[in-house]
Structures are given as structure tokens and as C-alpha cells.
Amino acid sequence: MFDTLGADIYQSWNDEQRKDEIAKLVTGYRSGLPLTIIFQMASAIAGSPEAAREMLAAVIPAEERHRMVTKEKGEAQTLAASFLM
């Protein structure tokens, strides 16, 4: 049920609206929102994990993405790398 939270709404958005919403998620991360939530919501908003990766790369500078990945450990680091690198 929660995996498709908002999916109907997101499908009606254009790429710019999706990118703006993902940028808000990134702001949330910078304020303490866990990366796993960012990745799950970004995938739902973008329509797929692949599209989420592209949009995250567009809104987060490479240096910051690298710091985000190196901050994580274990499986969380692997997940972060798959979305951010």
C-alpha cells in the first residue's frame, strides 16, 4: 500500500514538477530525513529508480553525492551508491 503512495498524482506531473519535488526531498535530507525515505519517495515521484537516479544527480552536486555515500555504512552505503553514483 505505501509503496504506491501518491503514484497516481505523480504520474500526472511533468518532469519539472517531479524534479522540484525531489529537490524538496533533498532539502529534507539535509534537515535529517533518512536516505532510505528519500530513495523510496524519489522513485515513486520519478516513476522508477532509474529516473530517480537521474533527477537526484540533477539536483545534488557530485561532491555532495559522494559525501552522502561515504557517510553510510554496509548495505545502506551500497544502496546510496546505487542511487547517487
Query: How confident is the model over 6-56, as pLDDT tens digits?
Result: 667 888 889 999 999 999 999 999 999 999 999 999 999 999 999 999 999
Q: How far apart are CA 46 and CA 34, in angstroms?
A: 18
Say if residue 80 is exposed, middle or buried (CB neighbours under 10 Å; 0-12, 13-18, 19+).
Answer: buried
Task: Enumerate the domain spans of the chain.
Answer: 2-84
The pTM score is: 0.85
pLDDT-derived band at 5, boundaries 50, 70, 90: low
pLDDT-derived band at 1, boundaries 50, 70, 90: very low
